[in-house]
Structure 1
Amino acid sequence: MAEQLLHMSVSCLISGRKFLLTCIYGLHSIQHRKPVWEQLRHIGQQQITLPWVVLGDFNSVLTPDEKHGGLLVTNREIRDLADCVSFLELFDTQHVGCFYTWSNNTGHSKIDRVMVNSTWLQDDLDIYTEFLPPGCISDHSLSITTVFRESRRRNPPFKFYNMWAAHDEFESIVQEHWVFYGKGTTQFVLKKAF
């Protein structure tokens, strides 16, 4: 445990599988974040042979296209995280939901992530993350990560049966549920409407 990270070993009670988990909270300035990247490198150099998940608020983007609005991203801002991720061979998990995970209503950034090491990928373990819209509880997206659920169907098809349209109340039901009056980000309102 350190100021900006918590590192642990996790054992699944159902499958018996073990993996390492590191939770990150990167501080707000580049200089104050430097120790967390050094500590991650140190953990990674301990011959990690188990699958490893690194997640949390990194407070830094990996690439300039992960920020929209506000000041432009400089190479100095992304260098430390990018070097650390490259050194440790970490990769973003498959994810759905919001791309930008933080918003102050004028700027949006992807500063929250869930990443795995190459061992996780080589073992072909199942993991995916859903990033919910920011603004409900915090200006960050809530992330829900699911692991070891191998039976998950990917992209199930939408099916519409014509018999539904023949129902007497079909149009009124669709009209009633189509309109959604809600508050929040545009993404949140769109998601709740459907």
Structure 2
Amino acid sequence: MVDASKAEFIRRKLGFERVFKNCSQKIWLFHSFDLNCEVLLDHVQCLHVKLNMPWLEVPLLASFIYAKCTRSEKLVLWDCLRSLAINIHSPWIVGGDFNAILHSVERLNGAMPHAGSMEDFATTLLDCGLMDGGYEGNSFTWTNNRMFQRLDRMTYNHHWAYFFASTRIQHLNRDGLDHCPLLISCSKNQDRMPSSFRFLHAWVLHHGFKKFVEQNWTSSIVGSRLQAFWVKQRRLKQALKWWNKEVFGDIFHNLKVAEQRAANCEIIFQQE
């Protein structure tokens, strides 16, 4: 059993307000106060919740999975998902570590996958009306450094696909772990929104930051007090964007380059 204080420690470290754990202590769900989370089913292999968010007009249903290893134990989970699906008529996403694959190509090295287990999994998704969400990135989500498998995935029903214009699932780098994290991004509108201004904490650690801000803010400007304040803010925002690019460079691009380099190394490791 996991000590409750450990979950609270990780919650505070990650910056969330609440944490839920299922009865087996294998599934942890962290969330902030602007998301209302109601646990509908606490199962050994599944945590089924209803999510209400102020910016969405309908609640979302989510089932987080941490499946057992043996085929007989997973049959209990498959039956649980079927019983849930009967009464679901709203957007529903189901994902996590299913400890199962759908096709033989989802395993690299190791013994031949069990056809019956793959059929059990595929039949369950079909019976529940769940479709595989696909992925971007590495083809495999788990490894023991000898065998590679796609054990983790996200699936959703047609209500989810209709409600969200796009659902993007990324396999992030494992970074030394046996499982890779999955990042799910959902959008109701496919139109590209203007980029938002982001203040980076690293700026305040730079020796020239304070002086740069003071020089920009104290520069004279024409206008009333409130108007001058608004214009100064707007001017400082544009100046900080330029300063960040000159001093730090495009850190988001640099991060993507580093992540891609790590992903390429993972693939080379798998192949060789």
TM-score, length basis structure 2: 0.54
Question: What does 1:40-79 correspond to in 2, within 5 Å?
Answer: 40-46=81-87, 48-79=88-119
Paired residues of 1:64 and 1:73 also in contact (CA < 8 A): yes
User: Which residue matches 2:180?
Assistant: 141
Q: How many pairs are equivalent? A: 161
Query: What's the offset of the Cα at 1:124?
Result: 4.5
The more displaced of 57-66 and 72-81 is 72-81
Q: For 2:267 and 2:102, locate their aligned partners in 1 and report how far apart those are by CA, in whole Å.
A: 28
Larger Cα-atom Rg: 2
Is the Cα contact below 8 Å between 2:132 and 2:155 reproduced in 1? yes
Residue 172 of structure 2: aligned partner: 132
**1:10 alignment partner, one of 51, 55, 69:** 51
User: Counterpart of 1:80?
Assistant: 120
* SS of equivalent to 1:61: coil
What is the SS of the residue equivalent to 1:24? strand
Q: Which letter does structure 2 place at the counterpart of 1:102?
A: W
Aligned mate of 2:73, from 32, 40, 47: 32
Are 1:97 and 2:137 counterparts? Answer: yes
**Pair 1:18–1:121, CA change in 2 (3 A):** same
User: In the aligned structure 2, how far is the partner of 1:97 from the partner of 1:149?
Assistant: 23
CA RMSD, 1 decimal: 2.5
1:19 and 2:19 correspond: no
* Distance in structure 1 (CA, Å) of the matches to 2:106 and 2:164: 27
Kept in 2, the 8 Å contact 1:91–1:115? The answer is yes
The 8 Å contact of residues 95 and 129 in structure 1, kept in 2 or not, is answered as: yes
Q: Which runs of 5+ in 2 are unaligned?
A: 1-41, 193-257
Change (3 A) 1:15 1:185: closer
With structure 1 as the length reference, what TM-score do the two structures score?
0.74
Contact in 1 for aligned 2:85/2:128 (Cα 8 Å): yes
Give the partner amino acid of 2:63. Answer: T
Taking only the aligned residue pairs, the percentage that are identical comes to 23
SS of 1:86's equivalent in the other structure is: helix
Q: CA deviation at 1:189?
A: 8.3
Structure 2 distance, partners of 1:123, 1:4, is 27
Give the partner amino acid of 2:153. Answer: R
User: How far did 1:12 drift?
Assistant: 2.2
Task: Kindly indicate whether the alpha-carbon contact (under 8 Å) linking 1:96 and 1:130 is maintained by their aligned counterparts in 2.
Answer: yes
**Contact 2:166/2:190 (8 A) holds in 1:** no
Per-residue deviation at 1:148? 2.8
**Do the aligned residues in 2 keep the contact of 1:26 with 1:36 (CA within 8 Å)?**
yes
Per-residue deviation, residues 135-194 of structure 1 (Å, max 9, x unmatched): x252011011112363476xxxxxxxxxxxxxxxxxxxxxxxxxx8xx97754488xxxx
Equivalent pair of 1:126/1:149 in contact (CA under 8 Å): yes
SS in 2 for 1:42: helix
Q: SS where residue 146 of structure 2 aligns?
A: coil
Richer in helix (by share): 2
